[in-house]
Amino acid sequence: MEIRNAQKGDEYGILHLIKELAKYEKAPEQVVNTAENLAIDLFEKKNCFALVSIENEKIIGFALWYFSYSTWKGNCLYLEDIYILPEFRKHGIGSQLFDLVVQIAKKEGVKRMDWQVLEWNEPAIEFYKKKNAILDSEWINGRLFF
């Protein structure tokens, strides 16, 4: 198993995992992104960044993040998604990906790293608790779609 920065051509495998994550989160119809758009955002515009976990030349997991800004803290990192195919879970891959993103956040000097987890996703909640994460139930998410 290898973990590396995403490179051109990985957008297809990453998008496949994004669709698998959407199925897991019971919202597959909400994925409208394409591999082509993902490639532009990752490699041309650099709107986001990704790590991929590979086994036998197949992408089996990924972490995707971007940099954000807090008026209170300054530069931040937002972990948009981390996902491992079910058959590869419980081998520490998610932990390795998460820890690498934490290292990137520290190297970049961000003041805070954020992410969301669905309230019913107990395995993810337990994973983040083991990482000593603060899971805040006070804030309500706001969102607009265009």
Residues serving a catalytic function are 128
Report the distance separating Cα 50 and Cα 64, nearest Å: 4
Alpha-helical (H) ranges within 56-139 are 93-107, 122-130
Report the distance separating Cα 141 and Cα 137, nearest Å: 10
Q: Which of 20, 29, 25 is nearest to 118 (CA)?
A: 25
Q: Which of 44, 108, 57 is nearest to 79 (CA)?
A: 108
Report the distance separating Cα 67 and Cα 117, nearest Å: 18
Whose tokens are 């051109």? That residue is: 8
